Amino acid sequence: MEKILITGGSGFIGSKIIDRIYKEYDIVVLDNFSPQIHGDHYEESFLYQNIKDKCKVIKGDVRNYEDVLLALEDVNYIIHLAAETGTGQSMYEMSRYTDVNIKGTSNLLEGILKNKLSIKKIILSSSRSVYGEGMYICKQHGSVVPKSRNVDDMLSLDFEVKCPACRGEVELSKTTEDSSLSPISYYAYTKLAQEKMLEVMCPTMNIPFTIFRYQNVYGSGQSLTNPYTGILSIFSKLLLQNQNINIFEDGNESRDFIHVRDVAAITCDALENKLTNNQYINVGSGENISVIQVAETLKRLYDSNSEIKISGDFRIGDIRHNIADISRAQQLSDFKPSYTFEEGMEEFTAWVKGQDEGNKLEKSNDRFELSLEEMKATGMLVQVEG
C-alpha cells in the first residue's frame, strides 16, 4: 500500500480527503492542531475524532524541519494543505503567515531534495486569492484584472471595482487559470509564493505537481471557532442566538462557494491522474452567491429572528466578487460539482445544529469579537459609522 503525507490533514479539507482514501492508502498526517481551528482541546474536536482511527497522526509543525523529516519517511505522495488561511488576519500577522505558509513549504521541499526522496507527486492547496479581484470586462479595454479598490471610493460607499486603465465600469467575468495574478492580501502573496516554490523546485527534482486554486470551501466539519475565516460559521453562530448580523459593504459582494466533498473528490483524483500533472486548476462551482443571499438563506434555514443589517463597513484586503471558470477541472478530471448552493446549505446548517451543544458556539463568539477589535486596532477594518 502506497503512503501519502497530508500536511494539515486534520483540518477541514484534509479530514474529507482522508474519508475518501484511507482504505486505499497508508496515510500519515502532520498537524500542529492549532487552537484557532481545533479549540483548546484538539482531542475532543470533531475533525480529530473523524481521522484518528484512519491514519497515523504526528503532532508537529511544518515550521519545524525535524518534524517534516519524520513525516516524510517512506512517503510516495504529498498533499500539502498546512497553512494559515485568514485573509484579514494575514494583514497584521505577516510574520506568522510567512513562517507557516512559506517557511513550511520550503522545509517540505528541502527535506525532499536533501534526502533524495522518491516522491511521485505533490498536490498543493492554493487559493483563488492569488488572482486578486479576478477577471472583468471593460468596454474600452477588454479583459482586465483590476487592482485593489480605492479606500476613498469605499468610504463613499462605492464598492465596485474599476478598470485599471480608465477607472470606468467593468463587468464581472469568470476567472480562468490564465488570468494575471494580482494578490491584494498578504495571505494571497504567501499562497502565490507556495505556487512559485513548487514551480521552481519540482522540475529540478523530477516531481510532478498539481496546484488547486480552491474557491470558498464550505461544508460539515468547517471550524466554528475560527473567527478569521468563513462567513458561514460566523453568521451561523449569530443566527442561532438570534443576534443581529452586520453585513459589510453593501451586501452585494459575492463568492464562489464549493462544497468540501467536491474539493476532496478532485484532489484525490489528482493523485494518480496524470492529466493533472503540472497543472493549475480552479476548483469552484462556477457560480457566485452574494453575501446578503448567504445571510438570508442561513436565517431561513435556522428559523432565526436575527436582523440582517448592511453597515457599509469594510476590510482592507477583501475582494469584491469571485467566480471561477472551472472548464479546466471539467476537462482534466471530469469535475462536476455535486451540490447546489441550497443543498449544501441545508446539509451544513443541519450539521451546525448538531454541534451546538453546551453553548460551544456562544463561547466562541468571544473570539469573533476579539478578531474585530484586532482588525480595528490595526486599521484593517474600516467602520463607516462609530
Residue 1: is it exposed, middle or buried by C-beta count within 10 angstroms (0-12/13-18/19+)? Answer: exposed
Reply yes or no on whether 187 is catalytic: yes
Q: Cα 76 to chain center, whole Å?
A: 25
Report which of 12, 226, 188 is spatially closest to residue 102, judged by C-alpha positions: 188
- Containing 77, the helix (H) or strand (E) segment is strand 77-80
The grid coordinates of residue 372 equal 474585530
DSSP, collapsed to helix, strand or coil, labels residue 352 as helix
Contact 82, 14 (CB under 8 A): no
The grid coordinates of residue 155 equal 468610504
Contact 159, 314 (CB under 8 A): yes
* Type of residue numbered 31: D
Task: Give CA–CA dist 279/275, Å, rounded.
Answer: 8
* C-beta neighbour count of 242 within 10 angstroms: 13
Distances (CA, A) of 209 to 14, 217, 281: 18, 21, 11
Which one is catalytic: 187, 214, 218, 228?
187
DSSP, collapsed to helix, strand or coil, labels residue 219 as coil
DSSP, collapsed to helix, strand or coil, labels residue 127 as strand
Q: Cα 18 to chain center, whole Å?
A: 18
Residues annotated as catalytic are 187
